[in-house]
Structure 1
């Protein structure tokens, strides 16, 4: 097992990753917060869903999810339609404008990452994506009792993982 110093260094590097994430979080469409951009990303990746499921995927308080959804609905980027199975509930889905804003967001963030990692080889980027996905899966597995590691570089249908 690795020594304490190794895990302390890992904590420093994870803090640095958080700084990178915050910087990328500033790249958002006009009128949109990082939190709302994350909602767009989750809906884009997972498709239509109830707000409760969205809250689970985001790992935030339901009131925060509601605020982001209300904001995105006011912008016309998210639509809330009655759930046929339970008319009291709503199904959230991206509107065509929401898809356009998500594409803009993904393109801008991808270009920024590509520019910052221009001297990295493709295999280094793949390796980092795999290791970060594995780290996330191990932490998610702590709460669910499962380890569901999936290699994000092999997911051609969803090339942009949601922001954490």
Structure 2
């Protein structure tokens, strides 16, 4: 098991990664927030889905999801249509404008990453991608279990 100091350093590095995410967020078109881009990317990845499923996938409250979906719909990036299985429910899907926006966002992010990481080897990038995927999976596993693991970790960090 890793030493406490390693977890502390990991926490510092994750804070630094958050700053990188904020910098990438500045590359978005002016009317597209990072949250809007995430909503669109989730709909693209999972296909048509109900808002409740989107909220679940994003691990955010329905009211927050509703605000993001309303914004994206008003900008023409998402479409809502009746669910054939339950006409009272609506399904969300990407509009052609939403697909175009995601292509633009992807191109901007890819160009920025390629510029900043041009001196990284393919092996280094592959290692980073693999480790980030593993980290995301581990946190997903923690969310699926009772929150005692995250609460215990937070309590240990405060106590230490």
TM-score normalised to the size of structure 1?
A: 0.85
Q: SS of the residue aligned with 1:124?
A: helix
Tell me the residue number matched to 2:58: 58
What residue ranges of structure 1 are gaps of 5+ in the alignment?
A: 146-164
Work out the CA distance in 1 between the residues paired with 2:101 and 2:3: 45
For 1:37-56, what aligned pairs fall within 5 Å after superposition?
Answer: 37-56=37-56
Measure, in 2, the Cα distance between the counterparts of 1:122 and 1:82: 45
SS in 1 for 2:140: helix
Aligned to 2:103: 103
Distance of 1:20 and 1:38 partners within structure 2: 16
Counterpart residue number, 1:91: 91
Task: Determine the structure 2 residue equivalent to 1:19.
Answer: 19
Name the structure with the higher helix share: 2
Q: If the length of structure 2 is used for normalisation, what is the TM-score? A: 0.87
Q: Following TM superposition, by how much is the alpha carbon of 1:138 offset from its aligned partner in structure 2, in angstroms?
A: 0.7
- 2:149 equivalent to 1:141: no
Question: For structure 2, which runs of at least 5 residues remain unmatched after alignment?
Answer: 146-160
Shift of 1:26: 2.0
- C-alpha displacement of 1:110: 0.9
| Deviation for aligned residue 1:86 | 1.0
Higher relative contact order (CA 8 A, sep 6+): 1
After superposition, give the CA deviation of every residue in 1:27-50 in whole Å (9 maximum; x if it has no partner): 222311111111011111111111
* Alignment partner, residue 9 of structure 1: 9
Secondary structure in 2 matching 1:71: helix
Q: CA deviation at 1:101?
A: 0.5
1:68 paired residue number: 68
Q: Which runs of at least 4 in structure 1 moved beyond 6 Å after TM superposition?
A: none
- 1:23-74 Cα deviation digits (max 9, x unpaired): 1122222311111111011111111111011111111121111111111111
**Cα RMSD after superposing both structures:** 1.1
Matches of 1:58 and 1:125, distance apart in 2: 26
User: Take 1:43 and 1:123, find their aligned partners in 2: how far apart are those partners?
Assistant: 31
